[in-house]
Structure 1
Amino acid sequence: MAEYIKYVDVTKCDGCRACMVACKNWNDLPAEPEEFQGSVQSHANVTANTWNVLSFIEHEDSKGNLDYLFRHSSCFHCSDAACVKVCPEDAMHYTDFGTVDVNSDKCVGCGYCVQNCPFDVVQLATYKDKNGKEYKKAQKCTMCVDRLEEGMQPACVTTCHTDAMEFGTQEEMLKKAEKRLSEIKDKYPNAMIYNPEGVGGTHTIYVLAEKPSVYGLPEKPKVPTSAVVWKDYAQPIGKMMLGATSMALVGAFVSNKLFNKEGKGHEEDGGGSHE
């Protein structure tokens, strides 16, 4: 099956937030009371129960003009996804469309996916069992895989009235992005296609009017080395040689030493933030 891409042209977005509403409605996600953000933005970032956020950015260009920039924010669905690499239960997995989904039945709430996502997209939702005991499950945008399987498009795409979002085959959407970039370069000299190679490319690509950092995005995101060590070395060796008990100890060691935000920051850029 061909791989598919959600193409987002931020220069066409008018900030209506219909994509947020459509995502909430289709996925039956609960409302989340949020503190006032000091602007028209409703949520600071995506959460376990808000998979789609419209970001509003006040930006002063090189000529001193103040402008509002908008960005539809959701999971990037990396081709080489850190969350898939580190998941010990294979709950995080690739779909037939090339996107990344979560099997909630397999998820044990370990949080490795949260700690290793280069975009800070994956979050843990809290639930209670019939006895009132709390447990956690990883949640994020699924690219509406249930809709894709029925031949429909993601809910956010279908509701976008400015055509800022489109969905189609990888080849088709990349061609659209290249064409659009050539059309806006005179107006936006810093415009670029955001499809980072460090994560194998993504299944949500952007045409940005400014550099990624202006939109709060990492300039060159990559799969953390800790994720590669776990998936390609520690996990297979532990399963082959150490047995279940020892493997659990290896997992605890890796989670403490490698799978933490502070460690990731030091590992990737010498102590500062990776963004």
Structure 2
Amino acid sequence: MADYIKFVDVTKCDGCRACMVACKNWNDLPAEPEDFNGSIQSHMDLTANTWNVITFNEQETSDGNFEWLFRHMSCLHCNQAACEKACPESAISYTKFNSVVIDPEKCVGCGYCVQNCSFGVVQLATYKDKNGSEYRKAQKCTLCTDRLEQGLQPACVVACHTDCLIYEEKELVLAEANKRLSEVKERFPNANIYNPQGIEGTNTIYLLADKPSVYGLPENPKVALSQVVWKDYAQPLGKMMLGATTMAVIGAAISNAVRKDRSEGDHDHE
């Protein structure tokens, strides 16, 4: 199966927010009205129940005019995801579609993924059990993995009327990204393809009209070495040692029981 990734060409986005509506509808996420704060941006940031936000940045052009720079903000589905490295419960994993997903059955709401996400995407939702006690679960965009499993495109991609969002084979996406970059360079001299290699690339690639920092994106995000050591080495080794210790204890108990049975048997024959 070929690798598929999502491409976001911000230079085609007109800020219609159809992707936001489609995301809410498909994932059955509750509405989150916000008080007017003087901005035409409908939501200031992602939340546990708003997985997709269109950001609005007004920028002055070289001729003294102004234009809007939009960005479809959602999970980038990193190839080396800091949230996955930080999770102590193995509740975050990669799917065959290269999406990064959270298993609500394993999530304990510790919040380590929230603290360590390279892009501030993961958030905690609060729920109540049948006794009224509150508990938390981490939530974010799933790249519509449930739709991908049915052979469908992500809901946001289907809703986009400007083809700002594309979900296609990786090689085709990269070719299109480079083609579009050469086409928009005259209008946007600082245009660039955002696919940070410090996290081994992402499965949502952007064509940005300006530097990543203009869009609130880190220039070169990286997963902390301590997280890599913890997740890929210390934790598996600890589990192996725990397993070995457990087996040793069980083995000792069985051995003692056998010796006891033999000893009692010897006494019976005296």
Give the match's secondary structure for 1:29: coil
Q: Which amino acid aligns with 2:199?
A: V
Using the aligned pairs only, state the percent identity.
Answer: 70
User: Residues 15 and 70 of structure 1 are in contact (CA less than 8 Å); yes or no, is this contact kept in structure 2?
Assistant: yes
- 1:58 has 2:61 as partner: no
Q: Which amino acid aligns with 1:49?
A: N
Give the match's secondary structure for 2:179: helix
Q: How does 1:40-55 map to 2 (within 5 A)?
A: 40-55=40-55
Give the match's secondary structure for 2:190: coil
70-79 or 222-231: bigger deviation:
222-231
Give the match's secondary structure for 1:113: helix
Structure 1 runs (4+) deviating above 6 angstroms are none
Q: How does 1:120-269 map to 2 (within 5 A)?
A: 120-241=120-241
- Counterpart CA distance in 2 for 1:170 and 1:126 is 36
C-alpha deviation, 1:125, in angstroms? 0.6
TM-score in terms of structure 2 length: 0.86
C-alpha deviation, 1:68, in angstroms? 1.0
Aligned to 1:256: none
C-alpha deviation, 1:45, in angstroms? 0.9
- 1:95 has 2:87 as partner: no
Aligned to 1:27: 27
- Counterpart CA distance in 1 for 2:242 and 2:144 is 39
Q: Which amino acid aligns with 1:33?
A: P
Alignment deviations for residues 196-228 of structure 1 (CA, whole Å, 9 cap, x no partner): 001110011110010001111111111123321
Q: Which amino acid aligns with 1:131?
A: N
C-alpha deviation, 1:242, in angstroms? 5.4
Q: Which amino acid aligns with 2:66?
A: L
- Counterpart CA distance in 2 for 1:171 and 1:38 is 42
Alignment deviations for residues 219-244 of structure 1 (CA, whole Å, 9 cap, x no partner): 1111123321321343223323357x
Q: Note the residue ranges of structure 1 that are not aligned, 5 or more in a row.
A: 244-275
Q: Which amino acid aligns with 2:47?
A: T
C-alpha deviation, 1:62, in angstroms? 4.5
User: Residues 29 and 50 of structure 1 are in contact (CA less than 8 Å); yes or no, is this contact kept in structure 2?
Assistant: yes
- Counterpart CA distance in 2 for 1:148 and 1:102 is 16
- Counterpart CA distance in 1 for 2:65 and 2:234 is 52
Aligned to 1:272: none
108-117 or 13-22: bigger deviation:
108-117
- Counterpart CA distance in 2 for 1:50 and 1:38 is 20
TM-score in terms of structure 1 length: 0.85
C-alpha deviation, 1:89, in angstroms? 1.9
Q: Which amino acid aligns with 2:159?
A: T
Aligned to 1:38: 38
C-alpha deviation, 1:103, in angstroms? 1.1
Matched residues, number? 243
Aligned to 2:109: 109
Q: How does 1:68-87 map to 2 (within 5 A)?
A: 68-87=68-87
- Counterpart CA distance in 2 for 1:37 and 1:102 is 32
- Counterpart CA distance in 2 for 1:91 and 1:22 is 26
- Counterpart CA distance in 2 for 1:101 and 1:169 is 20
C-alpha deviation, 1:111, in angstroms? 1.1
Aligned to 2:5: 5
RMSD (CA atoms): 1.4
Q: Note the residue ranges of structure 2 that are not aligned, 5 or more in a row.
A: 244-270
User: Residues 109 and 135 of structure 1 are in contact (CA less than 8 Å); yes or no, is this contact kept in structure 2?
Assistant: yes
